[in-house]
């Protein structure tokens, strides 16, 4: 089976992506070692890779054994709710390190393996990567930059498929924190389910080889 590496797979959307791809791919779950990541790996017979996106210099040595990789899914991310005046430089630094620079470092380290497989890189972006989201200043900036990196990668690496996925708000722990910041009551029924977004991502990954899905935008269907 083809191989797929997923970052941020210990919970939420990442675990749902692992479930959606498990029937068709051998899974490599990348992230900081944790019991939650081990549990997801055990569910799907996956292997774990101890990758810390906040420490980009350590990444090349960890992924060096991989000579071919069919799919790389950048799902890991952090968000600090706050408008510009409420944000701190440390929050900006952490957000950009994980959401942007970590993804760049992992992609660069795996480029030879992806080229060898004529692989596919998927960036789980956000609606905030298209339109700025109030109360998410540093997160919005990181997602705009991530979209730019994806577009550049697509232009510069014609042998690869590169997809940016821009979901609306998803029912995850991160979403709960944002709702608390907004002073609202968390109702998961208002948001996309992780399983729905994971299926959209799996459909893009499993598209026929002559199809190159550049961008996917998916929003909750509020009836």
Residue 175 is encoded by which pair of tokens?
A: 């979403």
Residue 16 is encoded by which pair of tokens?
A: 């749902």
Residue 115 CB-density burial (10 A; 0-12 exposed, 13-18 middle, 19+ buried) = middle
Residue 74 CB-density burial (10 A; 0-12 exposed, 13-18 middle, 19+ buried) = buried
181 noted as active-site residue: no
Residues in the chain: 223
Q: Which of 44, 80, 123, 139 is catalytic?
A: 139
What does the alpha-carbon distance between residue 219 and residue 196 come to, in Å, rounded to a whole number?
A: 10
CA geometry: angle at 162 spanning 160 and 165, to 5°? 165
Catalytic residues: 139
């Amino acid at each position: 089976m083809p191989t797929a590496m997923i970052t941020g797979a210990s919970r939420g959307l990442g675990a749902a992506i692992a479930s959606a791809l498990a029937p068709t791919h051998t899974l490599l779950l990348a992230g900081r070692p944790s019991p939650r990541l081990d549990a997801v790996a055990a569910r799907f017979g996956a292997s774990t890779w101890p990758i810390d996106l906040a420490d980009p210099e350590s990444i090349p040595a960890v992924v060096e054994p991989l000579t071919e990789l069919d799919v790389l899914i950048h799902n890991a991310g952090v968000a600090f709710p706050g408008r510009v005046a409420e944000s701190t430089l440390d929050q900006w630094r952490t957000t950009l390190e994980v959401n942007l620079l970590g993804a760049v470092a992992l992609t660069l380290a795996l480029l030879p393996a992806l080229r060898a497989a004529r692989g596919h890189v998927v960036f789980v972006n956000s609606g905030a990567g298209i339109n700025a989201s109030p109360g998410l200043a540093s997160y919005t900036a990181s997602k705009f930059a991530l979209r730019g990196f994806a577009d550049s990668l697509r232009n510069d690496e014609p042998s690869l498929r590169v997809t940016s996925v821009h979901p609306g708000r998803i029912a995850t722990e991160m979403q709960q924190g944002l709702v608390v910041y907004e002073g609202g009551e968390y109702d998961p029924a208002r948001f996309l389910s992780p399983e729905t977004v994971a299926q959209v991502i799996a459909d893009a990954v499993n598209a026929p080889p002559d199809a190159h899905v550049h961008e996917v935008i998916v929003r909750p269907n509020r009836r």
